[in-house]
Structure 1
Amino acid sequence: MIKNMLRGAAAISLALTPLALPSTATATPAAPTRAEVLNLADAVEQIPLSDESRTGYVRDSFKHWNKGLDPADGCNTRAEVLLAEAVEAPTEAAGCKLSGGLWKSYYDGQEVNDPGKIDIDHMVPLAEAWDSGASAWTAARREAYANDQDAATSLVAVTARSNRAKADRDPAEWMPPLPEAHCRYVSEWTATKLRWGLAADQGEADALKVYAEACETTVVHYTPAA
Structure 2
Amino acid sequence: MSQLVQHDLRRGSRARHLIASVTALALLALLMTVQPPAASAYPPGLPSKAVAQSELDALTVRAESASAPYDRDLFPHWVTVNGCTTRETVLKRDGDGVVVGSDCYPTSGSWYSEYDGVTRTAPADISIDHVVALAEAWYSGASTWTTARRQDFANDLTGPQLIAVTAEVNSSKSDKDPAEWVPPLASKRCAYSKMWIHTKSRWGLSVDAAEKAALQPLLDSCSY
- The Cα RMSD (Å) is 1.7
- The residue number in structure 1 matching 2:90 is 81
Question: CA separation in 1, counterparts of 2:183 and 2:221?
Answer: 16
- The residue number in structure 2 matching 1:19 is none
Deviation at 1:51, TM superposition (A): 1.1
Deviation at 1:150, TM superposition (A): 1.5
Q: How does 1:110-189 map to 2 (within 5 A)?
A: 110-151=118-159, 153-189=160-196
- The residue number in structure 2 matching 1:48 is 60
Report Cα offsets for 1:114-145 as digits up to 9, x if no partner: 11111000010000000101000000000000
Amino acid at match of 2:65: S
Which residue of 197, 206, 214 maps to 1:207?
214
- The residue number in structure 2 matching 1:59 is 72
- 2:70 partner SS: coil
Aligned residues of 2:47 and 2:194 also touching (Cα < 8 A): no
- The residue number in structure 2 matching 1:94 is 102
Deviation at 1:42, TM superposition (A): 2.9
Question: CA separation in 2, counterparts of 1:78 and 1:212?
Answer: 28
Q: What is the TM-score when the length of structure 1 is the normalising length? A: 0.74
Instruction: List 4+ stretches of structure 1 deviating above 6 A.
Output: none
Amino acid at match of 1:53: S
Higher fraction of helix:
2
Amino acid at match of 1:85: D
**Which shows bigger deviation, 50-59 or 132-141?**
50-59
Aligned residues of 2:49 and 2:194 also touching (Cα < 8 A): no
Q: Which has the higher contact order (CA 8 A, sep 6+)?
A: 1
- The residue number in structure 2 matching 1:21 is none
- 1:87 partner SS: strand
Question: CA separation in 1, counterparts of 2:108 and 2:48?
Answer: 36
Aligned residues: 177
CA gap of 1:185–1:118, structure 2 versus 1, over 3 A, is same
- 1:100 partner SS: strand
Deviation at 1:180, TM superposition (A): 0.5
Q: Which runs of 5+ in 1 are unaligned?
A: 1-34, 219-226
Aligned residues of 1:88 and 1:103 also touching (Cα < 8 A): no
Identical-residue share of aligned pairs (%): 42
Question: CA separation in 2, counterparts of 1:133 and 1:115?
Answer: 32
Q: Which runs of 5+ in 2 are unaligned?
A: 1-45
Q: What is the TM-score when the length of structure 2 is the normalising length? A: 0.75
